[in-house]
C-alpha cells in the first residue's frame, strides 16, 4: 500500500521528515504546509534541500490540503496548534506528530482531540525520540519480566550543540540557582513527559495514584557562550529532572532527564551520553542505547541526528496509525513501529 502524506511545516525536524517522505517508496508526498508566506509556492524539494523537483508546492491553505484527502499528516510544528489539529482530524486526516504531544492530556486537550478523531474517523499519534521512542523501549523491555518493581528511563546528554533554545530555555538555563520560577516553569516546559508516564502505566495495566515532578539544577563554573545563547557563570547550566508515576507509595515509573549546556560546569553527575532504560524486577534489566553518526555523515555537527531521531518515530508509525481505531492512540494501540520502506 502507498500512503498519501502531507508534511506540516519544514523546520529543524520537518525538513528531515520531508526528505524521508520523498525517499520512501511506500509514501507519496501530496502536500506541504508552510507557515511562512515566503515558503508558500516553493517546491518541496527546494524546502528539503534536494535537487530533483517533486512538483508539490507548499501552501498555507489548510482547507486545500485537507481536500487532497491524504491518508496522514506528519505534523512537526515546534508547538501544537489545537485548532489546526482538530481541523485535520475532523477532516478525516490521520495525524502523527512530534509537537510536544503524546496524548494531549497535560494540555487538557486529550478529550477534544479524541472527539475530533472519532468525528472524522481519523487517529492522532504523538511521539519523538524522548518522550516517545525511548519510553516505548522502556516499556517493551518489560516483556521478559514476570514481575516489575520499577521502570526507569534516563536521557543523559550534553546538548550544547543542540540549538533549540526556545524549547529548552524554560527549564532554567541562565537563571540563578535559587530562582523560585525554575521548578514551575520547568514542570510546564517538560509536562509532555507526564503523558509518557501515563502511557507506560497503561502498558503495565496500572492506574497511577499521582504523577509528580522534581528537579535539581547545577551552575556554570565559568561563562558558557553557546553561540546561540549565553549562560553566565554561577547560573544554571545543567539540570537533573524527574517525572514520577506513583502507585501505593512507590515511584513505579521514573522518567529522568540530565541535560547539560556548555563545557564549564561542576560535573555534579556522570553524563551517560545516551538513553538508559532500566527495569527492576524479575529479571532486572539494564539497556543503554546511543545515537551515532553513520560513516557517510557529512554535516558539521550531530544536531541533525537528533532531528532525524525525533521525527522518524512519528513518521514511521503512519501505517499503524492509519489502521488504528479513530481518536487519540498511543504505542499501546498500534503495532510495533519499524523503519517501514527504508531498508536498503
Helix, strand and coil percent figures for the chain, each rounded to 5: 30, 30, 40
On whether residue 40 sits in a domain, the answer given is yes
In terms of C-beta density within 10 A (0-12 exposed, 13-18 middle, 19 or more buried), how is residue 311 classed?
Answer: buried
178 and 229 share one domain: yes
Residues 42 and 57 sit within 8 Å (Cβ to Cβ): yes
User: Cell 503523558 sits at which residue?
Assistant: 195
Residues 194 and 102 sit within 8 Å (Cβ to Cβ): no
pLDDT tens-digit profile of 30-54?
Answer: 999 998 889 999 999 999 999 999 9
pLDDT attached to residue 300: 86
Distance CA 253, CA 71 (A): 35
117 and 156 share one domain: no
Count of domains forming the chain: 2
Residues 258 and 271 sit within 8 Å (Cβ to Cβ): yes
On whether residue 342 sits in a domain, the answer given is no
Distance CA 62, CA 29 (A): 16
On whether residue 142 sits in a domain, the answer given is yes
On whether residue 344 sits in a domain, the answer given is no
Q: What is the pTM of this model?
A: 0.95
Residues 236 and 217 sit within 8 Å (Cβ to Cβ): yes
In terms of C-beta density within 10 A (0-12 exposed, 13-18 middle, 19 or more buried), how is residue 166 classed?
Answer: exposed
**Residue 323: CA count within 13 A, CB half-sphere:** 10
252 and 281 share one domain: yes
118 and 9 share one domain: yes
Mean pLDDT computed over 322-342: 96
pLDDT tens-digit profile of 167-191?
Answer: 899 999 999 999 999 999 999 999 9
On whether residue 60 sits in a domain, the answer given is yes
* Cell digits of residue 73: 499528516
On whether residue 343 sits in a domain, the answer given is no
Amino acid at each position: 500500500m502507498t500512503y498519501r502524506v502531507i508534511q506540516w511545516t519544514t523546520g529543524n525536524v520537518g525538513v528531515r521528515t520531508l526528505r524521508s517522505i520523498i525517499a520512501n517508496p511506500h509514501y507519496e508526498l501530496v502536500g506541504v504546509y508552510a507557515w511562512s508566506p515566503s515558503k508558500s509556492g516553493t517546491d518541496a524539494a527546494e524546502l528539503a534541500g534536494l535537487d530533483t523537483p517533486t512538483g508539490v508546492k507548499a501552501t498555507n491553505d489548510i482547507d486545500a490540503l485537507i481536500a487532497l484527502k491524504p491518508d496522514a499528516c506528519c505534523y512537526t510544528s515546534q508547538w501544537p496548534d489545537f485548532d489546526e489539529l482538530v481541523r485535520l482530524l475532523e477532516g478525516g486526516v490521520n495525524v502523527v506528530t512530534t509537537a510536544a504531544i503524546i496524548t494531549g492530556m497535560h494540555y487538557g486537550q486529550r478529550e477534544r482531540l479524541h472527539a475530533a478523531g472519532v468525528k472524522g474517523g481519523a487517529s492522532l499519534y504523538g511521539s519523538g525520540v524522548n518522550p516517545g521512542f525511548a519510553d516505548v523501549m522502556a516499556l517493551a523491555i518489560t516483556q521478559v519480566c514476570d514481575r516489575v518493581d520499577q521502570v526507569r528511563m534516563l536521557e543523559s546528554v550534553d546538548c550544547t550543540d543542540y540549538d533549540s533554545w526556545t524549547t529548552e530555555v524554560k527549564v532554567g538555563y541562565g537563571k540563578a540557582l535559587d530562582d523560585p520560577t525554575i521548578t514551575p516553569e520547568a514542570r510546564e516546559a517538560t509536562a509532555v513527559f507526564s503523558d509518557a508516564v501515563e502511557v507506560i502505566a497503561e502498558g503495565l495495566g496500572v492506574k497511577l495514584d499521582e504523577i509528580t515532578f522534581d528537579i535539581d539544577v547545577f551552575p556554570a563554573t565559568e561563562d558558557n557562550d553557546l553561540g546561540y545563547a549565553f549562560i553566565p557563570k554561577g547560573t544554571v547550566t545543567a539540570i537533573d529532572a524527574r517525572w514520577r508515576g506513583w502507585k501505593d507509595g512507590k515511584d513505579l515509573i521514573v522518567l529522568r532527564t540530565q541535560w547539560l549546556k556548555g563545557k564549564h560546569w561542576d560535573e555534579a553527575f556522570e553524563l551517560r551520553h545516551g538513553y538508559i532504560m532500566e527495569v527492576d524486577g524479575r529479571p532486572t534489566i539494564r539497556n543503554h542505547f546511543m545515537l551515532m553518526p553513520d560513516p557517510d555523515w557529512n554535516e558539521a555537527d550531530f544536531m541533525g541526528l537528533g532531528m532525524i531521531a525525533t521525527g522518524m518515530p512519528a513518521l514511521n508509525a503512519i501505517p499503524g496509525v492509519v489502521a488504528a481505531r479513530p481518536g487519540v492512540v498511543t504505542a499501546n494501540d498500534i503495532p510495533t513501529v519499524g523503519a517501514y520502506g527504508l531498508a536498503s
